[in-house]
């Protein structure tokens, strides 16, 4: 991407996502603690159990549990005799759904969005080349026409929804279950972003990754 595009990805605002659906007292603390690490702390900063209990008003056992949960995602590493240190975000388990959700609303949201689009382009190229039935090809052509119709109407939410449906259908009909599962994780995370961001990205797509170009590869 050029300099102007890079500045754009890091300019759009955080959206204030709520905690995920499994919202218990423990998960509330886990979510709050995760956002604290992702948004406010830097690599190498030290966290102690006593600090966590005070800041999040939780028991020692809960503080230990949330630390273990973050360590299992490689967000924290243990520092013997001291506590835990914040790992560099690039060392986190970036495919973990919890981490992906956090990055969607933290300082790394722009970087993650770009990374997901790059991955989606690569997967789509493979998925489009897979053999399909005539009915599956017809469904994909119809899905592509829905994207184009929504774009002509300039309805942002409709464009984003049609785009997500097209890409999901493309992967579901490719016959490769590993690609499907990978794409489900990517597409699920992209749905967290504002439709305006999705539409801006679509307008800036390279010709070979546009919906029409992908449909033309179908066989």
Q: What is the rounded CA–CA span in Å between residue 162 and residue 148? A: 9
Residue 168 contacts residue 183 (beta carbons within 8 Å): yes
Q: What is the rounded CA–CA span in Å between residue 5 and residue 205? A: 12
In total, the chain counts a number of residues equal to 219
Residues 65 and 109 both lie in one domain = no
Structural domain range at position 67: 18-91
Taking only the tens place, the pLDDT of each residue in 149-158 is: 888 888 888 8
The reported pTM is: 0.75
Last residue of a domain, one of 66, 91, 116: 91
Q: Where are the alpha helices (DSSP H) in the chain?
A: 3-9, 25-40, 49-56, 60-72, 97-103, 109-128, 134-153, 156-172, 177-190, 195-203, 211-216
Taking only the tens place, the pLDDT of each residue in 27-62 is: 888 889 999 999 999 999 999 999 999 999 999 999
Count Cβ atoms below 10 Å from residue 37 Cβ, excluding itself: 23
Residues 153 and 197 both lie in one domain = yes
Residue 180 lies in a domain: yes
Residues in the chain with pLDDT values less than 70: 1-25, 204-210, 212-213, 217, 219
């Amino acid at each position: 991407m050029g300099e102007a595009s890079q500045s754009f990805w890091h300019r759009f605002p955080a959206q204030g996502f709520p905690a995920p659906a499994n919202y218990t007292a423990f998960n509330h603390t886990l979510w709050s603690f995760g956002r604290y690490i992702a948004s406010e702390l830097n690599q190498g900063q030290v966290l102690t159990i006593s600090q966590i209990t005070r800041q999040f008003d939780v028991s020692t056992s809960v503080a230990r549990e949330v630390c273990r949960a973050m360590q299992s995602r490689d967000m924290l590493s243990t520092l013997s005799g001291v506590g835990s240190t914040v790992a560099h975000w690039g060392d986190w388990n970036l495919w973990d759904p919890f981490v992906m959700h956090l990055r969607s609303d933290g300082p790394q949201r722009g970087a993650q969005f770009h990374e997901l689009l790059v991955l989606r382009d690569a997967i789509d190229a493979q998925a489009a080349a897979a053999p399909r039935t005539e009915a599956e090809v017809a469904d994909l052509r119809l899905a592509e026409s829905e994207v184009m119709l929504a774009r002509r109407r300039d309805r942002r939410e409709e464009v984003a929804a049609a785009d997500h449906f097209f890409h999901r259908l493309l992967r579901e009909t490719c016959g490769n279950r590993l690609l499907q599962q990978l794409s489900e994780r990517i597409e699920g995370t992209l749905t967290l972003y504002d439709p305006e961001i999705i539409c801006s990205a679509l307008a800036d797509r390279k010709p070979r990754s546009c919906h029409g170009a992908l449909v033309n590869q179908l066989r």
